[in-house]
């Protein structure tokens, strides 16, 4: 069996948000044989301008044949050969057409929607060629299925928990914030906890203070910092215009759980999210006013027993349900493909790690 992974280049540097996908690729690569197909760079406004359309034509002319030849050389003669296309937006979906000359060589073709992307950003013809659409948001996935007629499967947020989990007691950072925030809540919290003389550390984490690290190193730094934090702030995304009211489970929750953080903020409310975080204290919702939120966070951080309880439970649940290997297993099962021994071994390792954490 071979998995063809079609996405942006993850071997070097890239945009800051790209690092989380390196963990997906690592987990895939430890589970099955993977062939990386590097997609050409996204062209801003490619579907709206003449210059963009010309650039897309040149991509198809110059890059497409190279990709197709790579596929032909790399096919597993014993199969199955599975293509998975990661898409952040409609342009990523359209670029899958570069593989059209070898499309029939794949036994299965999967489109994985990994960010706020909606069916009206592409065309039905680009969707109907796929055998499955895996979507990180159940509500978005249902929209794609309704438009395309292609079966949608729910792939909630995941990461390489096996290699990046920690229940360590060493937590010098009290409160961690990464990325999206409710500024009306965060600013007062930041001012309060970082007041000179206060025995707290609230870190608003930025990875790019020492040049531009590789995608791999940036993800490792992200998870290392999470693992040194007692609590992490996470805010749901429905108020962001590009999500159009959808409220999916996002990667930052999984990163926090894997690292043993207590999660504070606003929990997502999308379809099927509740089942993904249904253990006690998986997230603690902040009170509505900053003053009440400050008092609540102080209470949480002053309770070492509660922090330790959530630290162990969150790591265990991440190991049991939110590793990328589970998403791959579920996909193969849905396709009727036998789960390879290497993936079974990874799943067994996750179970053993969860048992080890529970016994500490």
Q: pLDDT digit string (tens) for 98-111? A: 999 999 999 999 99
Report, as an integer, the average pLDDT of 260-265: 98
Would you state the structure tokens that stand for residue 56, as one six-digit string? 């897309």
Q: Tens digit of pLDDT for each residue in 333-343?
A: 999 999 999 99
CA distances from 66 to 41, 107, 220, 296 (A): 15, 21, 32, 57
d(CA 312, CA 299): 19
In this structure, what is the dihedral angle of CA atoms 311, 314, 316, 321, given to the nearest 10 degrees?
-170
- State the DSSP code for 147: H
Half-sphere exposure (Cβ direction) of 277: Cα atoms closer than 13 Å: 28
Which DSSP state fits 159? B
pTM, to two decimals: 0.94
Mean pLDDT rounded to a whole number for the chain = 94
Q: Is the pLDDT of residue 45 over 60?
A: no
Share of the chain above pLDDT 90, in %: 87
Confidence check: pLDDT of 122 > 60: yes
SS3 for 247? coil
Chain segment 55-79, per-residue pLDDT in tens = 766 776 788 999 999 999 999 999 9
Contacts of 277 (CB under 8 A, 6+ apart): 249, 253, 267, 283
Bridge pairing between strands 173-177 and 202-204:
parallel
Supply the pLDDT for residue 54. 66
Whole-angstrom distance, CA of residue 127 vs CA of residue 116: 16
């Amino acid at each position: 069996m071979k998995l063809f992974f079609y996405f942006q280049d993850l071997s070097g540097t890239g945009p800051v948000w790209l690092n989380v996908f390196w963990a997906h690729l690592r987990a895939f690569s430890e589970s099955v044989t993977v062939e990386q197909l590097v997609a050409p760079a996204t062209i801003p406004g490619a579907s709206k301008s003449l210059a963009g359309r010309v650039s897309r034509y040149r991509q198809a002319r110059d890059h497409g044949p190279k990709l197709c030849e790579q596929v032909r050389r790399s096919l597993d003669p014993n199969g199955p050969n599975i293509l998975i296309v990661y898409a952040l937006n409609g342009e990523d979906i359209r670029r899958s057409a570069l593989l059209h000359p070898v499309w029939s060589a794949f036994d299965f073709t999967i489109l994985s929607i990994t960010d706020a992307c909606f069916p009206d950003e592409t065309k039905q013809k680009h969707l109907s060629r796929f055998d499955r659409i895996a979507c990180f948001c159940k509500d978005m996935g249902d929209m794609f299925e309704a438009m395309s007629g292609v079966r949608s499967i729910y792939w909630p947020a995941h990461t390489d928990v096996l290699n990046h989990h920690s229940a360590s007691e060493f937590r010098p950072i009290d409160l961690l914030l990464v990325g999206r925030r409710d500024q009306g809540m965060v600013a007062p919290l930041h001012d309060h906890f970082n007041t000179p003389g206060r025995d707290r550390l609230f870190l608003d984490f930025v990875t790019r203070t020492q040049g531009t690290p590789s995608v791999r190193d940036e993800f490792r730094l992200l998870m290392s910092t999470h693992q040194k934090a007692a609590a992490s702030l996470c805010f749901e995304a429905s108020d962001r215009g590009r999500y159009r009211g959808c409220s999916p489970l996002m990667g930052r929750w999984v990163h926090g759980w894997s690292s043993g953080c207590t999660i504070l903020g606003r929990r997502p409310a999308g379809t099927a999210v509740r089942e993904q975080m249904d253990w006690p204290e998986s997230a603690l919702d902040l009170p509505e006013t900053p003053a009440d939120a400050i008092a609540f966070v102080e209470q949480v951080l002053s309770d070492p027993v509660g922090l330790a309880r959530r630290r162990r439970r969150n790591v265990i649940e991440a190991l049991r349900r939110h590793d990328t290997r589970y998403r791959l297993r579920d996909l193969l099962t849905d396709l009727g493909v036998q789960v390879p021994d290497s993936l079974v071994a990874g799943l067994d390792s996750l179970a053993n790690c969860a048992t080890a954490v529970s016994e500490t």
